[in-house]
Amino acid sequence: MGFLWWFAVVALAEMATFFWVSSEIGLGAAIFIALSTAFVGAYLVRRSGVAVWRRLRARVKEQRIPGRELVAGVAVLVAGAFLISPGFITDILGFLLLVPWAQDRLYEMVTARFSARFAGLRAAGDSLRGAVEGDWGTEVTDIVDIEEVD
């Protein structure tokens, strides 16, 4: 239900913004701006997507985790959806998601959220690992050697 609610709110806000802009500058100019942002946005999304893809491939080739590149790729994908859809609010959000500074902030937000979420899991994993490895306060001193009998 939450997604539908947000979808309706954004659609109403987009319509209200379009009517306001068209009343200020004229209907023809508003339509021209909406269409031109779609074309410019499509070009920028393609260009940004290719750049992110190249960075991602280079990170994988270096055998490093491409976390920042994956977040940038999702940002470019969402930016493309925002820029293709008609409206001024989504266009502003779409162009913002193409800016490297905004992608860096998004990466920081995602990593902060996941590191906080997995901190408890990491602590539980460490205690479990200690129990499995025999960290029970005693040492294992007897080693039993089993030989095969022919």
CA distance linking residue 125 with residue 70, whole number of Å: 26
CA distance linking residue 114 with residue 119, whole number of Å: 8
Mean pLDDT score, 11-39? 93
CA distance linking residue 97 with residue 123, whole number of Å: 34
- Which pLDDT score, from 0 to 100, does residue 84 have? 87
Mean pLDDT score, 103-109? 92
Mean pLDDT score, 95-121? 85
Mean pLDDT score, 50-74? 92
CA distance linking residue 65 with residue 118, whole number of Å: 17
CA distance linking residue 43 with residue 40, whole number of Å: 5
Residue 105 pLDDT exceeds 60: yes
- Which pLDDT score, from 0 to 100, does residue 4 have? 87
Question: Residue 125 phi/psi, 5° resolution?
Answer: -65, -40
